[in-house]
Amino acid sequence: MLVTVLMVGAGLAGGLRLSYIYDHILQLAFAATVLAFSLSVLLYFKALLAPETALAPGGNS
């Protein structure tokens, strides 16, 4: 947490506008949701195409 506070402080000293996050929260949330869904689909298909030896024994149902 200390590192985060220091990074935000350094950013503010360098001209970082935190109001950008507030102004664009919907776009940022949408982008995060699309990214998470895309990565989930990618991992699902990678697991389907992976050889049997690459999968965990408990997950082979």
* HEC string for 6-55: HHHHHHHHCCCCCHHHHHCHHHHHHHHHHHHHHHHHHHHHHHHHCCHHHC
Within a domain: 15: no
Percent of the chain at pLDDT exceeding 90? 70
Task: Write out pLDDT tens, residues 18-47.
Answer: 999 999 999 999 999 999 999 999 999 998
Provide the residue range defining the domain that includes 45.
25-50
Mean pLDDT of 42-55: 87
Number of domains forming the structure of the chain: 1
Residue 57 confidence (pLDDT) above 60:
yes
pLDDT band at 11 (very low <50, low <70, confident <90, very high): very high
Within a domain: 34: yes
Within a domain: 6: no
